[in-house]
Structure 1
Amino acid sequence: MKIRTVLLGAISGAGALMALAAPASAYIACNRDGDCWHTESRYSRPGISFDYHPDDWYFHRRWEGDRSDRYRYRAYRDDVAKGYWRNGVWITF
């Protein structure tokens, strides 16, 4: 009986660790105009396409210092409906 309890506890603990080790799904989305923003989902809309980068891609770029770079980071809009940036304007889905 005791070995069964220990085994069950070990399996439960391993399952909990695996659940915590799952990577978070966050992205930097960029449109063809170079507007980039943080998002937690990949969107698919007809006629609109985005390039998705891993969330840490943001930290490996110089957003303001390099004028030759075509990308511009825009603030994450969690205060409004889901949408995307286009030419510096937030467009809702």
Structure 2
Amino acid sequence: MVTHLIVNPYNFWVVVFTAIGTISTAYGLAIIGSAVDQANFYTYLNLATEGEPGYVHTTRIIAALNGVNSAGAIIGCICHVWTSEFRSQTDNDN
């Protein structure tokens, strides 16, 4: 049990920005999840609904969309780390 809690500004901001990144990633997953549930999604992409022939193709497309979304989140995190380091290096150069 934590009896003595010390919060310094660095740790506080690390937690805040980590939470913002997590929320941003989860928001994208929530949007793709709600879009896949819409009838217009199947119509627009010309996909078969459950029980129709070709539904295997539909499940593969949905899986690919989820995979691309997750990959984009990972790439975004990596780019964020790189740009943060670049910014701190240019600040130190001046």
- Report the TM-score when normalising by structure 1: 0.33
- Normalised by the length of structure 2, the TM-score is 0.33
Q: Which has the higher helix share?
A: 2
Higher-strand-fraction structure: 1
Q: Quick one: higher RCO (CA 8 Å, sep 6+), 1 or 2?
A: 1
